[in-house]
Amino acid sequence: MARNPWLALLMALIPIVDLYILYKWWEELKTATTADYDPIIRLILCLIPLVNIYYLWKLFADVEKASMAKGKGGFALGATVMYILSFLLVVPFLYMFYKTQVLLNGMG
C-alpha cells in the first residue's frame, strides 16, 4: 500500500502507531519479495531489547536489497552505515523511516 513518506515519518514518531507502521512494512516487504516469514513474529521480535537492533537492521537491509533488485535505488550510504549512524544522530534514523516508505512505494 503506497502511503505518503511524510505521513510514515510522522507515524514513526508516535510509539503505538510506530508498531503499526513496522508491521505494515514487514507485510509490504513480504509481499514484494515473496519471503517466507510471519510479519507478526517479526514485529514481536522488534519489541525485544537487543533482538530489536538486529531485526530493525534486517528490515532496512532487506528493503534496500529488494529495492535495488528492482532498480529503484537504496539508502544514501547503504542500510548498514545509515543504521549505525542512526545510533549516534537522530537525522539518519528519521531519514531511514522516510526513505523506507519511499522504497516500499516504488516496489509496489
pLDDT digits (tens, 9 = 90+) for 44-53: 998 999 999 9
- pLDDT: is 88 or 31 the higher one? 31
- Reported as a single tens digit per residue, the pLDDT across 32-79 is 888 899 999 999 998 999 999 999 999 989 989 988 888 888 887 888
Nearest-angstrom CA–CA distance, 56 and 68:
18
Contacts of 60 (CB under 8 A, 6+ apart): 75, 79, 82, 83, 96, 100
Cα(first)–Cα(last) distance of the chain, in Å? 7
Q: Average per-residue pLDDT in the chain?
A: 86
Query: Are the beta carbons of 82 and 76 closer than 8 angstroms?
Result: yes
Which three three-digit cell numbers place residue 44? 514481536
Cα(99)–Cα(91) distance, integer angstroms: 12
Span 11-28, pLDDT tens digits? 777 878 888 888 998 999
How many domains in the chain? 1
Domain range for 83 is 5-107
How far apart (Å, rounded) are the C-alpha atoms in residues 54 and 30?
A: 17
Which residues, in sequence order, are CB contacts of 84 under 8 Å at separation 6+? none
